[in-house]
Amino acid sequence: MKIKRNADSVVYLWTQLHSYLEEYLPLVRSASVHTVSTYKESLNSFISFLADTKGIPRNKMDFTTFNRQNVKDFLKWLTNTKCLAPKTCNLRLTAIRAFLEYSTQEDASLMHICVEVGTVKNLKTPSKPIEYLKNNELQALLAAPGTKTKTCRRDRMLLIFEYDAALRVGELVNVRICDIHFKKNESYVTIIGKGRKLRNVPLMEKTICHLHKYLEEFHEGSSWRSEAPLFYSLRDGKPHKLSTDSIEKLLKKYASQVDTESVDVPHGISCHIMRKTRAMDLYQAGIPLTYIAQILGHSNISTTSGFYAFATLETLHEALKLASPKAFQEEEKWNSPDVKQALFYL
């Protein structure tokens, strides 16, 4: 069934776009501000492509312009003209599909458009090793702030807490005092994650020790039920929670301090890399992926396995040593000077 383009169909498209971005995503799906912004940017990019490249006026656009051919041309334009990475292009495509799926729930006559666009294949993304901090890099980064000033002590606690709890940057800035629960052998922090979903993340004993000292200095006299931000900066003499930008700047600041020949910290250091580092450390320690997924707040374990279910050379080497210790003992014998002399000389 072909939808006729008229004034009503144009108004309907823009009404649906507004409803999807302003009501459905933030209120029904409880999507974060960042997620809503990303979807809005993707849909705006597609609409700008239709207007500027395809020559379709915005006041003439309706759901028929969201067709399969236009979406395919959009992906080509993103790749060839805008030179965006395949992963970014696929995110744009995901936003278009999600909007059409929402609109189909509201109007079943749009199903054929949704199905057609659904047949557009994602671009192939080249696989690359996961970027995470090695043990010496992590230790250097956590020690970088030092303890000389009050700000340094706050930053040190922040980095330790971020690594231990493996938080997204938006989750980190929203942690409050009342979210910390001190229990004997079971201390944990309650996190409000994506989609407003709650999860409890256990905290290690060393982190708890640091937290007690931090709370005594930075939240002296505060109630355990206080909703004050755990990490804050003073503005006009009053505490305000840190912004996500300030967290990222803080990470890059200390990473640049320890970036030397012996310690090579990734240039794009972020809370995301800290999360990957924590997850990789847990994975290499033999923690099941289901537990790691719960700590990270992944609703689907395939998300976790897609990132972490691979064996690094070190992990594989250690696993093989445990499985076949005699083989590695033999290897050491072959490398001894006496054996080499016997082998390489007639």
Q: What is the DSSP string of 102-130?
A: HHHHH-GGGHHHHHHHHTSPPPP----PP
Given a cut of 80, is residue 135 above it in pLDDT?
yes
Across 138-151, average pLDDT = 92
Q: Give 260 or 105, the one with higher predicted confidence.
A: 105
Which of the four pLDDT bands, split at 50, 70 and 90, describes residue 153?
very high
Fold observed for domain 7-118:
DNA polymerase; domain 1 (1.10.150)
- Name which of 121-135, 182-196, 313-327 the model is least confident about: 313-327
Which of the four pLDDT bands, split at 50, 70 and 90, describes residue 339?
very low
Tokens 């606690």 locate to 157
- The pair of three-digit structure tokens given for residue 146, joined into one six-digit string: 């030092």
Element counts in the chain: helices (H) and strands (E): 16, 5
What are the pLDDT digits (tens) for 271-312? 999 998 998 888 888 888 888 888 888 876 665 565 555 555
Which of the four pLDDT bands, split at 50, 70 and 90, describes residue 4?
very low
Rounded CA-CA distance 186/207 in Å is 12
pLDDT confidence of residue 117? 96
What are the pLDDT digits (tens) for 29-66? 888 788 899 999 999 999 999 999 999 999 999 999 99
pLDDT confidence of residue 326? 55
Q: Start-end ranges of CATH 1.10.150 in the chain?
A: 7-118
Residue among 226, 236, 224, 250 nearest 151 (CA): 250
For the chain, what percent of residues have pLDDT higher than 70? Answer: 83
Give Cα separations from 313 to 266, 285, 317 (angstroms). Answer: 19, 14, 6
Given a cut of 80, is residue 79 above it in pLDDT?
yes
Across 15-28, average pLDDT = 93
Residue among 57, 99, 96 nearest 78 (CA): 96
Cβ neighbours for 78, distance < 8 A, ≥ 6 positions apart: 45, 84, 88, 89, 92
Q: Give 79 or 305, the one with higher predicted confidence.
A: 79
Given a cut of 60, is residue 332 above it in pLDDT?
no
Please, are residues 49 and 77 in contact by the beta-carbon 8 Å criterion? yes
CB neighbourhood size of 205 (10 A): 9
Average pLDDT, the chain: 85
Give the architecture (CATH level 2) of 135-310.
Answer: Orthogonal Bundle (1.10)
Cβ neighbours for 298, distance < 8 A, ≥ 6 positions apart: 304
pLDDT confidence of residue 287? 84
Q: Start-end ranges of CATH 1.10.443.10 in the chain?
A: 135-310
